[in-house]
Structure 1
């Protein structure tokens, strides 16, 4: 088995007596871009700072190419780790030009100018080398920070909320460019963000954190279609839970009808379960006997996201093509087209799950 570039083994770290990250274990493969994703305060930035060497750890270990960088007893200095870092605020030197910023970490290389010129060309700033940071846009400053972090040829690149200061289309475009740059050079990287769209667009593997605990380390596809916990189901994407009962090992009976899953589930026959339905699991079907009333809609260009209510009062969301133009109050036909049916053992009351979206169900369960 190939040694991972980065390995976190039962990592624990915090501040004083407060444990922020608890028993975190992940492996990042050579050339992959990983991500730590989660809400504010979940421990993702603390983990990134521990990998960089800025924070000590109280348990477990951090390994780079199989060699320990941090344990509870020993910590390699940040400058000796062969790790580059792109900070949230870019941290550029205002008194240095763009070219001088990029070359700052190259102290002895005889090819310093060649490396700087090559990186500036790679990040599409080859004509701006003599400018200063204050003369650049936010997106250009981000490119300078990326080039500077890559200049010493690190084994691992860390990016802390790198696009959070950018807006809309620029954020989307630059995140795609950064992925292309890292992939073109085969650079392994770890990104921290709270934005799942950003994580999905850039990263090969994503770890969802909650209160310092890793909920799931997986591909974006699996996180969306095969969430390991109700929290992952809630945090990733949109959706609603509805109540069902196991009719067979791969079949569940719900108010939407009998739905067959894509595997044998561990819950016994007859047991109550919560069924996760994403907006793309429901499709419009004018001939279906299952009817719902439109109570709200969000136009999204190619699609329209409808909030629907069944006769029982259960609310769901569904994505229709935008030419299927329905207004609040209209009745529509539905059918379930869930190829990746996700079930969890039932929690809370039937009415609670019938009425509330995922995040409200989770909050209610935690306070019960």
Structure 2
């Protein structure tokens, strides 16, 4: 049995639903992520799972129990769901230990649980400190420990790392995944940061305009996107035009490629997905890209290149590549089996 099931979910305003036709399942022990641009419906979905948002269609089930359907909702405090808020929502007048213990005040082994969790989140030496005496990362750890203390069946995290600097966000996201996996806790988090989503999640749902475009593993989202939006949103994808040559091969201005996902007939026009890591420098290549912009990233350099047809693509080359704006770079494809979509 799936732990979490959302079936044909719709919620939001009566005449203008924020989310509609949403189907997804989360298995026990999995970490899922709702990913998408601002206003796409991911936070509304999380709030509906938590019980803060009524639904107008469909249903939400947790471990086979109906939590929400039109006209019926289980109260948030009775759902056995933990929540980590974006602003942490710690009680300023309570110490670290008191914050963690807040939801288990009547637990017969409260002290043991608090000690175990503060040790797990590396705060066991800070029991008597107050939230204002902690860094942002430490406050996030307290919020996580407090949410885990009642042993929820599901944990929800609303953009949990958005208030942290980039390096701390990267470190803490990996730690949170390890903590959740060590406890076998299922979770759903909301983010707009792709790197964060890939680092933490077993499954990712990509949203656009209130619709779930694809619910899949990070690897499949990157290598086998099901819609053009997912293809371009995940991993900075670009499209170049192609024409079928028969035998499922396609001619493009970057060379001959083979379709990974679509049977392409001779003469059929398609759009071919090109990612930055698909291209490599090749001085002897007959295909030259004109440098439009370039950015040195330390371990690599990112280039926006204009192909002879005028089509723009992005390429990431290792190290410092010193071609300047307006110069030409010989390029060729590293990947020749690629995702394609019908041209519209």
TM-score by length of 2: 0.96
Contact 1:262/1:339 (<8 A) preserved:
no
Structure 1 counterpart of 2:340: 343
Looking at structure 1, the residues matched to 4 and 307 of structure 2 have their Cα atoms a distance apart, in angstroms, of: 49
Tell me the CA shift for residue 310 of structure 1. 2.7
Partner of residue 273, structure 1: 270
Question: Cα deviations across residues 57-108 of structure 1 (Å, max 9, x unaligned)?
Answer: 1111111111111111321111111100000111111111110110000032
| CA drift at 1:311 | 3.0
2:139 is matched with 141
1:18 Cα deviation from its structure 2 partner: 2.5
CA distance in 2, matches of 1:331, 1:212: 42
1:77 aligned partner? 75
Residue 327 of structure 1 corresponds to 324
Residue equivalent to 1:307? 304
Q: CA deviation at 1:315?
A: 2.4
Query: Is 1:316 aligned to residue 329 of structure 2?
Result: no
2:197 aligned to 193, 196, 199, which one?
A: 199
Structure 2: state its 5+ residue gaps. Answer: none
Q: Do 2:81 and 2:153's aligned partners in 1 also have CA atoms closer than 8 Å?
A: yes
Aligned to 2:57: 59
SS for the counterpart of 2:72 is: coil
Aligned 8 A contact 1:226 1:340 in 2: no
**Residue 39 of structure 1: aligned partner:** 37
2:15 is matched with 17
Write the distance in 1 (CA, Å) between the matches of 2:98 and 2:272.
Answer: 56
- Worse overlay, 250-259 or 118-127: 250-259
Aligned counterparts of 2:118 and 2:277: Cα–Cα separation in 1 = 42
Q: Whole-Å Cα distance in 2 between the matches of residues 65 and 270 of structure 1?
A: 50
Q: Secondary structure at the match of 1:191?
A: strand
Aligned to 2:130: 132
Aligned with residue 244 of structure 1, among 238, 242, 245 = 242
**Aligned ranges for residues 143-162 of structure 1 at < 5 Å?**
143-162=141-160
CA contact (8 A) 1:101 1:148 kept: yes
Alignment of 1:351-362 (within 5 A): none
Report the secondary structure of 1:91's partner residue.
coil
Q: In the alignment, is the contact (CA less than 8 A) between 1:251 and 1:261 conserved in 2?
A: yes
CA distance in 1, matches of 2:233, 2:174: 22
Deviations 1:336-358 (A, max 9, x none): 122551111113xxxxxxxxxxx
Secondary structure at the aligned position of 1:140 is classed as helix
**Structure 1 residue runs without a partner (length 5+):** 348-368
TM-score by length of 1: 0.90
Alpha-carbon shift at residue 323 of structure 1 (Å): 5.1
